[in-house]
Amino acid sequence: MKLRAPNRAPTLSIAMEIIEAISCPFCGQTFQIPLDTTLPSQRFTADCEICCRPLEISIQCEPGEVLSLEVQGS
C-alpha cells in the first residue's frame, strides 16, 4: 500500500541575508558586507577589507530588511 504525502501549501522564503555597501571611516573606501537580518538589533566588529582597521557596525533590522546601519571606527 502506498501512502500519499498530504498536500502542502508552498512555503515562501524571505532572504534573511542582505548585502550592504559601507564606507570605512578611516580610509574612505566603500566595500560590501553581508548582514544577517534575523536579529532585530546587532552590534559587531568587522575589519575594513581595504585598510584592515576594525569597524564597529550597529544595525537595526526586520526580517529581510535593514532599518538602520551605523559604521564607526573602533
Task: Supply the pLDDT for residue 16.
Answer: 87
Question: For the segment 35-62, what is each residue's pLDDT rounded down to a tens digit?
Answer: 999 999 999 999 999 999 999 999 999 9
For the entire predicted model, the pTM comes to 0.73
Q: Is the dihedral of CA 23, 28, 30, 32 positive or negative?
A: negative
User: What pLDDT sits at residue 29?
Assistant: 96
Average pLDDT over residues 3-11: 53
**Tens-place pLDDT, residues 22-37:** 999 999 999 999 999 9
Question: Hey, which residues does 33 pair with through a beta bridge?
Answer: 20
Where in the chain are the domains? 36-74
According to DSSP, residue 26 is labeled: T
